[in-house]
Amino acid sequence: MKRTPLLITAGIVLFVILGYYAYDVFLVKDPVRPWDLVPADAMIVYEKNNCNACLEEVNKSSLFNIIETAASYKKPVDSIRNRIGAVLKDKQGFLISVHITKKDDFDFIYYLPYSSATTEDAFAFPKGNYRRSTREFNSVQIQELRFSGQVFSYATIGEVWIGSFTPFLIEDVIRTYETTPASERKKNRPSQQGFSSIQDDGGNVYVRLKIFSDWLSLFTAKPLNFALGESALLDLKSNGNSVVLNGFSYDSLDRSTYMLSAFRHQSPVSFGLKHVVSNRTIAVSSYGISDGAAFYGDLQKFVKQKNRALSDTLLKLSSTHNLKLENLYKLISDEFSVCFLESLKGRKLSRILLVESKQPEQWLQTLNTVSEKLSVDTVFFERYSQYEIREVPVFRFSEKLLWPFVSGFDQNFYTSVGQVIIIADNLEELKRFLDDIEAEDTWGKSVSQNRFLESTLLESNVSLYFNPAKAWNVLSADLQPRWSNFVRDNQPLLQSLQMSSIQFSHLNNSFYTNALFTYKPFVATAKPEKGGDKFITNFQQGISSLHAVRSHVNRSNEILIQDSLNDLSLLSSEGKLFWKVPIGDRIISDVTQIDFFNNGKLQYFFSTSSAIHIIDRLGNYVDPYPLHLPTADIEHVSVIDYDNSKRYRILIADKKGKLMMYDKSGALLEGWNPKDVGGSLAMPPRHHRIKGKDYILAVRKDGQVFLMNRRGENLKKFPLNLEAIPSGDYALEVGSTISDTYFVLVSRDGFKIRFTVEGKLQGRETLLKTSVTSNFSLIGEKSNKSYLILQQDGKQLTIADESGKRILSNNIVGLSPSDIKYFDFGAGNAFIGLIDRTQGLSYIYDSRGNLLTEPPLESTAIEVRPINSEQFRVFFIHGKSLVIQPL
Domain ranges of the chain: 1-30, 31-217, 255-519
**Mean pLDDT value across residues 337-363:** 91
Q: How far apart are CA 373 and CA 320, in angstroms?
A: 11
- At 648, which amino acid appears? Y
Q: How far apart are CA 878 and CA 875, in angstroms?
A: 10
Q: What is the pLDDT of residues 729-767, one digit of tens each?
A: 999 998 888 889 999 999 999 999 999 999 999 999 999
**Mean pLDDT value across residues 78-107:** 81
Q: What is the helix (H) or strand (E) element at residue 56, kind and residue range?
A: helix 52-59
Q: What angle do CA 741, 744, 745 make, to 5 degrees?
A: 160
CB 715 within 8 A of CB 705: no
Q: What is the pLDDT of residues 504-535, one digit of tens each?
A: 999 988 899 999 999 998 876 645 555 568 99
Q: How far apart are CA 296 and CA 696, in angstroms?
A: 47
pLDDT of residue 198: 58
Alpha-helix runs per DSSP H in 403-559: 427-438, 447-454, 468-475, 481-489, 491-495
Q: How far apart are CA 48 and CA 70, in angstroms?
A: 21
pLDDT of residue 26: 47
Q: Which residue has the higher pLDDT, 672 or 72?
A: 672
Beta strands in 693-757, from DSSP E residues, in sequence order: 693-699, 704-708, 720-721, 731-733, 742-746, 751-756
- At 789, which amino acid appears? I
Q: How far apart are CA 577 and CA 561, in angstroms?
A: 10
Peptide bond just before 521 cis, omega within 30 deg: no
Q: Which residues pair with 864 in a beta bridge?
A: 874
For residue 682, is pLDDT > 60? yes
pLDDT of residue 9: 62
**What does pLDDT average to over the chain?**
89
For residue 221, is pLDDT > 90? no
Q: What is the pLDDT of residues 613-648, one digit of tens each?
A: 999 999 999 999 999 988 779 999 999 999 999 999
Q: Which residue has the higher pLDDT, 887 or 605?
A: 605
Q: Which residue has the higher pLDDT, 311 or 297?
A: 297
At residue 450, the 3 state secondary structure works out as helix
Q: What is the pLDDT of residues 51-86, one digit of tens each?
A: 888 888 888 899 999 998 998 888 877 667 777 777
DSSP calls for 189-243: SGGGGT----SSSS-EEEE-GGGHHHHHHTTBSS-------SEEEEEEEE-SSEE
CB 333 within 8 A of CB 360: no
- At 120, which amino acid appears? E
Q: How far apart are CA 813 and CA 825, in angstroms?
A: 28
pLDDT of residue 126: 62
Q: What is the pTM of this model?
A: 0.90
**Mean pLDDT value across residues 1-24:** 58
Percentage of the residues of the chain whose pLDDT score is greater than 90: 64
Computed on alpha carbons and rounded to an integer, the radius of gyration of the chain in Å comes to 33
Q: What is the pLDDT of residues 422-454, one digit of tens each?
A: 999 999 999 999 999 999 999 999 999 999 999
pLDDT of residue 23: 47
Q: What is the pLDDT of residues 266-293, one digit of tens each?
A: 999 999 999 999 999 999 999 999 999 9
For residue 182, is pLDDT > 90? no
Q: What is the pLDDT of residues 470-504, one digit of tens each?
A: 888 888 888 999 999 999 899 889 989 999 999 99
Ranked by mean pLDDT, the top range of 61-70, 85-94, 350-359 is: 350-359
Q: Which residue has the higher pLDDT, 795 or 452?
A: 452
For residue 22, is pLDDT > 60? no
Q: How far apart are CA 146 and CA 611, in angstroms?
A: 79
pLDDT of residue 123: 62
CB 845 within 8 A of CB 804: no
Strand order in the sheet with 611-616: 592-594, 603-607, 611-616, 627-628
For residue 330, is pLDDT > 90? yes
Q: Pairing mode, if any, of strands 787-792 and 281-289?
A: unpaired
pLDDT of residue 252: 62
pLDDT bin (cut points 50, 70, 90) of residue 1 is very low
pLDDT bin (cut points 50, 70, 90) of residue 565 is very high
pLDDT of residue 28: 45
- Say which range, 173-177, 187-191, 486-490, has the weakest mean pLDDT: 187-191
pLDDT of residue 422: 98
- The closest alpha carbon to 824, from 119, 460, 346, 369, belongs to 346
Q: How far apart are CA 300 and CA 400, in angstroms?
A: 11
pLDDT bin (cut points 50, 70, 90) of residue 117 is very low
- The closest alpha carbon to 113, from 161, 145, 66, belongs to 161
Residues 6+ apart with CB under 8 A from 803: none
**Mean pLDDT value across residues 455-463:** 96
Residues belonging to the chain: 887
- Say which range, 800-804, 822-826, 866-870, has the weakest mean pLDDT: 866-870
pLDDT of residue 730: 97
- Say which range, 310-319, 643-652, 848-857, has the weakest mean pLDDT: 310-319
Q: What is the helix (H) or strand (E) element at residue 362, kind and residue range?
A: helix 360-374
**Mean pLDDT value across residues 206-212:** 90
